[in-house]
Structure 1
Amino acid sequence: MTHEREITEPVDLCLPDGRLNPAAIGWTRRPLHRANLRGWGRVKRWEYWGIVTPTHILGLVASSLDYAGVHSVYLLDRRTGLERNHEVVVPFARGAILPPRSGDGPVHAAGPGLAIDIDQRAEGSTIRAVAPGVQIDLTVPMPPGHESLGVVVPWSRRRFQYTVKDVGRPVRGTLRVDGTGFPVGAADSFAVLDHGRGKWPYAVRWNWAAGSAPGRAIQLGGRWTDGTGSTENALVVDGRLHKIGAELTWRYDRTDWLRPWHISGTGVDVRFHPFHERRAKTNLGVLASETHQCFGRFSGWAATEAGERIDLDGVVGWAEEARNRW
């Protein structure tokens, strides 16, 4: 299913001079990389948590993009389709805390009207955030034996990215919107982590899809990994990760984002059926981004390492296209 090397021991992402450590290139089933980034020059660090409940979809971002910290809390009411998004830009990411290891240590980001605090421990993470009209108090436990996908993508020795995509995590707690509390239960809600650390090219485009249902979760990526020898594709079945090493073909209509998407390749034949499109655009001159993130339901299948096709009908999540100049 994959030609990539599986890493099974802790490793530093960078050499002492800040270049990519060749021993770090590969993929993992649990976070083993220490992102010992140094210096200046398109160094990017972020934590993104996406949370799906029967009533809402949440997105939380804490980031440091060299010359700015861009932090946000996004909320979609699934019943009404109403969105709210509070984003703050903090010069030089002052005050942001983003630890070098995924799942280990505190994360903090704050700006006018917004604060995000994440406590990461071996047994799981707690997420607390406040934004205008929104209060979030959630626990994301780490199930025994649960596996996540870690990948190092090497564009060159000086441009590279380490990502952890942790899909299908249970989540529980409370979401409060304009004073009304909404309980979040682990039986019908899930959380997805995107942990990123690296040194990026100035302009890049990517696709990302993630979704979960009881006992099944899917993680698919594209464009930004093309030609690097690394991919970020995986199927998770009952907590066990099945790495998919093929580069995938993404087909979707950029004039109508709510039309069905088709993602296919060796070991994958997935349809994605959107029910809502989120558009996000930032233009700060040297830093600009445009993202079309669609929420919806998956159908089709993905194969395990043994070749068994797992039905993805009923999996809920998102698929997106992002373009960044940063």
Structure 2
Amino acid sequence: MATHEREIVDPVDLCRPDGSLDPAAVGWSRVPVHRANLRGWGRTKRWEHWCVTTPTHLVALTVSDLDFLALNSVYLLEFGSWGREFEHAAIVPFGRGVRLPDRIAGPPGVADVVVGPARPTGGQVRIEIRDEAGGVRLRGRCLTPDRLPVDIDLLVARPEGHESLNVVVPWDARRFQYTSKQTALPATGRVRIGAERLEFGAGESWAVLDHGRGRWPRTVDWNWGAASGRSDGRTLGLQFGGRWTEGTGSTENGVCVDGRLTKIGEELDWRWSTTDPLAPWTIRTTASDQVDLVFTPFHNRSSHTDLGLLANHTDQRFGHYDGRVRTDDGTEIAVRDLLGWAEDVRMRW
């Protein structure tokens, strides 16, 4: 096995009745089995972040409830030196009207996520995340900086048996995070910008979900890297995290090959330049040879926010992964030109 961490196979609550972490919830699973029954207010964070990529562009929808405010956003990037890039974010004081369910959308009875007015104007954003028979429907509406209407309609399939990385990271009994990272999910649909239509075609469009529920420290730093697509004749999803999990006994590292997850229990060695945003990164395991990758960025998305209670310094780089990964059964997969991202984040919230 690639990890010392305990695999959980039965449904479990994240919290005890008093709101503290239930020790039975600490571990990881191949499908979402945790119910994030968080209680009260203070240091509680909930979010749904979907990113869908094609070889030429990507779109990301985020709904987040950070206790004292909600931050909901639509982000679009077209690759290439002349490609468009814009983000439209709506800040909602005290998270009014933003309700995120305890479980991931999909099972009967789990609420859909809908925020914002049906026809947003000005600084407003509309985001819908709804379960359907064919998968998860993602819809988003906003305006570009030059006030063109944006309309997003994407369907993310959940192939039968496709596994994901679900893990609880415990800092202590009162500070902990449940995260579900789902990679290499097929997607189709379109994005309209004014009269222009961007197609997200079958076989070349891939979705990644970052579903988070927890109670966080005031300040934290992290790395996150992910990628999805076809490589070496396989459908491959990469999911890596760093820094924020150190010392907890848990990691959010895994490789999904043709729908089967290999959980990696060791921390990764991340190396990147803080002065050259387009310099290559290296991401490797140190105690084993399971991960040996170079990430080469072609675009840096830099975001600096200081709203008093909330301060965020993010450098998210989009690019391609090359190298190799190895699964639990010893199979080595060549990673060639796999589209994804890697980020360096410093957060005060």
User: Which position in structure 2 is the counterpart of 1:117?
Assistant: 128
Contact in 2 for aligned 1:278/1:292 (Cα 8 Å):
yes
User: Which position in structure 1 is the counterpart of 2:55?
Assistant: 54
Alignment of 1:213 onto 2:229: yes
Matched to 1:283, the amino acid is D
Contact in 2 for aligned 1:234/1:242 (Cα 8 Å):
yes
Matched to 2:112, the amino acid is P
User: Which position in structure 2 is the counterpart of 1:242?
Assistant: 262
CA deviation vs aligned residue, 1:138-162 (integer Å, no higher than 9, x gap): 1001111101000100000000000
Give the CA deviation at 1:121. Answer: 4.9
User: Which position in structure 1 is the counterpart of 2:151?
Assistant: 135
Contact in 2 for aligned 1:151/1:230 (Cα 8 Å):
yes
Change (3 A) 1:223 1:141: same
Match of 1:95 among 87, 94, 97: 97
Contact in 2 for aligned 1:273/1:298 (Cα 8 Å):
yes
Matches of 1:234 and 1:303, distance apart in 2 = 10
Give the CA deviation at 1:198. Answer: 0.1
User: Which position in structure 2 is the counterpart of 1:146?
Assistant: 162
Contact in 2 for aligned 1:103/1:121 (Cα 8 Å):
no
Matches of 1:192 and 1:87, distance apart in 2 = 20
Superposition pairs of residues 137-176 of structure 1, within 5 angstroms = 137-176=153-192
Match of 1:202 among 202, 205, 218: 218
Unaligned runs of 5+ in 1: none
CA deviation vs aligned residue, 1:207-242 (integer Å, no higher than 9, x gap): 000001121111111000011000011111101111
Matched to 1:315, the amino acid is L
Alignment of 1:285 onto 2:308: yes
Unaligned runs of 5+ in 2: 118-122, 144-148
CA deviation vs aligned residue, 1:149-183 (integer Å, no higher than 9, x gap): 00100000000000000000000011111221112
CA deviation vs aligned residue, 1:185-208 (integer Å, no higher than 9, x gap): 121110100000000000000000
CA deviation vs aligned residue, 1:81-134 (integer Å, no higher than 9, x gap): 321111111001111121110133301222743110110357520001001032
Name whichever of 101-110 and 230-239 sits farther off. Answer: 101-110
Count of matched residue positions in the alignment of Structure 1 and Structure 2: 326
Match of 1:311 among 304, 315, 334: 334
Contact in 1 for aligned 2:16/2:22 (Cα 8 Å):
yes
Contact in 2 for aligned 1:270/1:299 (Cα 8 Å):
yes
Task: Find the residue that maps to 2:116 and give its secondary structure.
Answer: strand
User: Which position in structure 1 is the counterpart of 2:137?
Assistant: 126
Matched to 1:202, the amino acid is R
User: Which position in structure 1 is the counterpart of 2:146?
Assistant: none
Structure 1 moving runs of 4+ over 4 Å: none
Matched to 2:131, the amino acid is Q
Give the CA deviation at 1:314. Answer: 2.4
CA deviation vs aligned residue, 1:235-270 (integer Å, no higher than 9, x gap): 111011111111001000011121000011131111
Task: Find the residue that maps to 1:300 and give its secondary structure.
Answer: strand
Matched to 1:298, the amino acid is Y
Contact in 2 for aligned 1:103/1:122 (Cα 8 Å):
no
Matched to 1:130, the amino acid is R
Contact in 1 for aligned 2:51/2:61 (Cα 8 Å):
yes
Alignment of 1:325 onto 2:336: no
With the length of structure 1 as denominator, give the TM-score of the two structures: 0.97
Matched to 2:165, the amino acid is L
With the length of structure 2 as denominator, give the TM-score of the two structures: 0.91
Matches of 1:185 and 1:90, distance apart in 2 = 34
